[in-house]
Structures are given as structure tokens and as C-alpha cells.
Amino acid sequence: MADAERPQIYLITPPVLDLAPFGEILKSVLDAHDIACLRLSLAARDEDALARAADALREIAHARDVAIVVEDHVVLAGQLGLDGVHLTDSRKNIRKLRVEMGADAIIGAFCGTSRHEGITAAEAGADYVAFGPVGASTLGDGHSTDFDVFEWWSEMIEVPVVAEGALTADLVAKFGPVTDFFGIGTEIWSADNPNAALKALLALLA
């Protein structure tokens, strides 16, 4: 449940990355900022490429006590010693996954703009739910998640919530009091200096 504490930062990898240089950039960001979790979010579905990326990024993240989850690939998460899985479709059987993955695994669910999907995922045992996009975006059906969804969630539900998608410094400041995490990815990776971009994004956060 969101409260007066500053929301934590949940990094999301770019959908396409050059592993060696990105690894160095990631080290720099993790060393400069307090990051709670890293999500491996690659567009490619090639298992070997995903495994190489997961191996490399797990070492970087775990060396800095940062949890790492992978989108949707439950088997890969277990095989490669990742901390859990992020489901891009919250309709998957979370109760079954919890049994398969164990109590210690992180299971997160993206629920778009739907409060109902969020409640369903939380009741099924998700460790967190994510809503988004928060800002204006052409992703999905073009709708953004209303502030009142987060406001209601922060008051009524104890399961942590992630705000993600098309974030700006103004939106971070606005949603800061009603979210537990900010999911940040393309907002910083496309910048020449991701460290500076992240700092600027968080500049107005109380």
C-alpha cells in the first residue's frame, strides 16, 4: 500500500539491447540510484538470446542486491536463478504459478488500466500489480490509467502497485503519493545519459 514513503524504482530493460554496452550502462545506473527491481523485457523470443541476457543481467543485479524478474518466461526464470516472473497477461493462472514457483518467487502482473484485473491478480496471489500507461501513449488502445485507480488502490489494497508507461517528471510527482513503485524503462534508455535522465525524471518527487 502506498504511503508517505518515497516510491521505489523498478527498472525495465529496453525491448532490444546490445548486451555488452547495455550491461555497462546498467551497472552505472544501479550504482548511482537505489533500484528495487529489474525486469528483463526483451521483444525477441529467441530462447538462447533471452538466456544470455538473463545470465548477464542477473549477475549485475544480484551483485548489487537488486531483484530481477523476466517477462512471462516462467521456465527460464527457474532455470537461470532469476527472482521471479512478470506476467504481461494477468489472466494467466497465478494460483497455479505460485504452486509451481514456490512462495519465495516474485510474481507480478500487468493489468493495463483495469482495476478489476488488478483485484483479481492480487486475490490470486500476485506480489504486485502494475497499471499503465500512466502518460499519453500509442500503446494498447491508447487509453491511460486514471489517477483515481491508483488513489483508490493505495487506500484500499495492501498489495504493492507499480505505475508505468510514458512517465514524465510531472507525472512522477503527481502519482508519487499513490504508488509504491515507478516502472521506468524507455524514458531513460533512449537518452544519451540514462543516469541524468533518471535523476531528472525523479527531480520533482517529494
- pLDDT (tens digit per residue) in 40-64: 999 987 889 999 999 999 999 999 9
Let me know if residue 1 belongs to a domain. no
Let me know if residue 3 belongs to a domain. no
DSSP state string for 156-203: H--S-EEEESS--HHHHHHHGGG-SEEEESHHHHTSS-HHHHHHHHTT
Let me know if residue 111 belongs to a domain. yes
Let me know if residue 16 belongs to a domain. yes
User: 142: domain range?
Assistant: 8-201
Let me know if residue 2 belongs to a domain. no
On whether the CB atoms of residues 129 and 152 are closer than 8 A, the answer is no
Look at phi and psi of residue 103 and say left if phi exceeds 0, alpha if psi is from -120 to 50, else beta: alpha
Count how many domains the chain has: 1
Q: What is the rounded end-to-end Cα distance, in angstroms, of the chain?
A: 17
CATH code (residue 94): 3.20.20.70
pTM assigned to the model: 0.95
pLDDT in tens, 146-159: 999 999 999 999 99
